[in-house]
Structure 1
Amino acid sequence: MARTSGPETREKLVRAAEEVFAAQGVDGAQLRDVVQRAGQANPSAVQYHFGSRAGLLDAVMAGRQARTEQVLAPLLAQVPEAAPVRDLLTALVAAEASELADPRGLRCLRISAQLSHESGVRTRTPHPTLAGTAYWRLIERIEAALVRDGLPEPLRLERLDLALTLVGAALADRARQLLTDRTPLTSVNVFLADLVETTTALLRAPHTHVPEHS
């Protein structure tokens, strides 16, 4: 039997993890299933190559982020600096939706939706896989647009986190339907356009001045 190199084994484990995490859930997935699906005899292969379950998950998400960046970076470069929220969200949704094009992307959408609150938006501390990316620059530009709209800081951060969660959940649900050969209610163009409008409405909804209570 031919031996595989370290990078080849890592890639096999990442591909296997995408399938297992998507099918079993991030918290429910068994690493032994990942190792088995990757065709590895060493039960400690994940620990050897990635250090931990979290390291493997980060590798899966780093690959997914790299693919999205290739789409998002040129889109973001075309959006004027003072663009409104809707234009920025249009770029975001288009880039995220590029993962709908193949089974690997569909599985990764199902995984990343479970991790949306770990992005670091609420604390302005990006997760390591997001630091320095076009995706994070886009998040900062959306917040800047909300500043111009006069939305107070706590609401800005909370709404922004919820908006990203909504986008992730909607795309993950679309991915689930496609992976299980179910026919969505709307065409992809209608779905994506409505997702932009729904998310824009969430971010730009009027806010009521309610007194804080201890």
Structure 2
Amino acid sequence: MARKSTGARSTPAGSDGGTDSTGTGTGTGSTRELLIRSAERLFAAHGVHGAQLREVVRRAGQANPSAVQYHFGSREGLLDAVMAERQQRTERALTERLPRPEGRPLDELLRALIDAEATELRTERGRDCLRISTQVSHRSGIRERRPHAGLAGTLYWRLILELEAPLLPLAPEPVRLERIDLALTLIGAALAERARQLAEGEHTLSDDRAYLADLVSVCTGLLTAPVPGAAGP
């Protein structure tokens, strides 16, 4: 989604129901939904491990101090619920862009993946979740070819696997898998930083369209760079 021209201050678009501007529950939605939204705001602002669960409960408008434990079992269970909802949104966005990734060229795969992830920049809760995603240590599982539990059976996982096919003539298997894992890490970090800039009202050096196009180019270069020490043609 394009924003203002270079050097202009970008204004985040979109808002979310169920919370006011401070993230406090308004009383609408289920207790579980209110806790998830409260956690998104606080995990993004203070860190997954820095945010206090009692503050999550208070911001959700709940009187029971054990509400997180009752609905999610633990901080980790709450985090899993936050990430599951974020993945569902990305999966829907990816389905709209590239429902059949098999056999597609590398730049098309990366563009669909990055564009789908970047839809989270459009809303406040999406920006919060991008900032959370980069904090957690959950990997995709591509190094072991075993998807993380949240990715099993998803279009997202199918696309990740397809990233390897164009690299077969370019690099040995360990390098291919490490590069894909690194590219996914880079995408997550880049979008999280963009989300932070938008959330904090910072000036951005380029609009969203240019930023995302350059991220596709950077990741393509990362994945296809010459392998050090490899024999030349």
Where do residues 59-208 of structure 1 align in structure 2 (5 Å cutoff)?
59-77=81-99, 79=101, 81-115=102-136, 117-147=138-168, 149-208=169-228
| Match 1:19 to one of 30, 36, 41 | 41
- The CA distance in 1 between the partners of 2:87 and 2:138, in whole Å, is 16
Residues 107-127 of structure 1 show CA distances to partners (whole Å, capped at 9, x for unaligned) of: 001011122652222222222
Structure 2: any 5+ residue segments left out of the alignment? 1-26
- The CA distance in 2 between the partners of 1:8 and 1:145, in whole Å, is 46
Structure 1: any 5+ residue segments left out of the alignment? none
> 152-161 vs 12-21, which deviates more?
152-161
Length, aligned pairs only: 204
Corresponding letter in the other structure for 1:82: G
Percent identity of equivalent pairs: 61
Q: Kindly state the Cα deviation for residue 195 of structure 1 after the two structures are TM-superposed.
A: 0.3
| 8 Å Cα contact 2:170-2:224 kept in structure 1 | no
- The CA distance in 2 between the partners of 1:104 and 1:96, in whole Å, is 13
Q: Kindly state the Cα deviation for residue 78 of structure 1 after the two structures are TM-superposed.
A: 5.7
- The CA distance in 1 between the partners of 2:142 and 2:54, in whole Å, is 33
| 8 Å Cα contact 1:89-1:196 kept in structure 2 | yes
| 8 Å Cα contact 1:116-1:165 kept in structure 2 | no
Q: Kindly state the Cα deviation for residue 146 of structure 1 after the two structures are TM-superposed.
A: 2.0
Highest relative contact order (Cα 8 Å, sep 6+), 1 or 2?
A: 2
1:48 matched to 2:54: no
More helix by share: 1
- The CA distance in 2 between the partners of 1:73 and 1:116, in whole Å, is 25
**TM-score normalized by the length of structure 2:** 0.82
Q: Secondary structure at the match of 2:51?
A: coil
- The CA distance in 1 between the partners of 2:222 and 2:49, in whole Å, is 29
| 8 Å Cα contact 2:170-2:226 kept in structure 1 | no
Corresponding letter in the other structure for 2:218: T
- The CA distance in 2 between the partners of 1:51 and 1:145, in whole Å, is 43
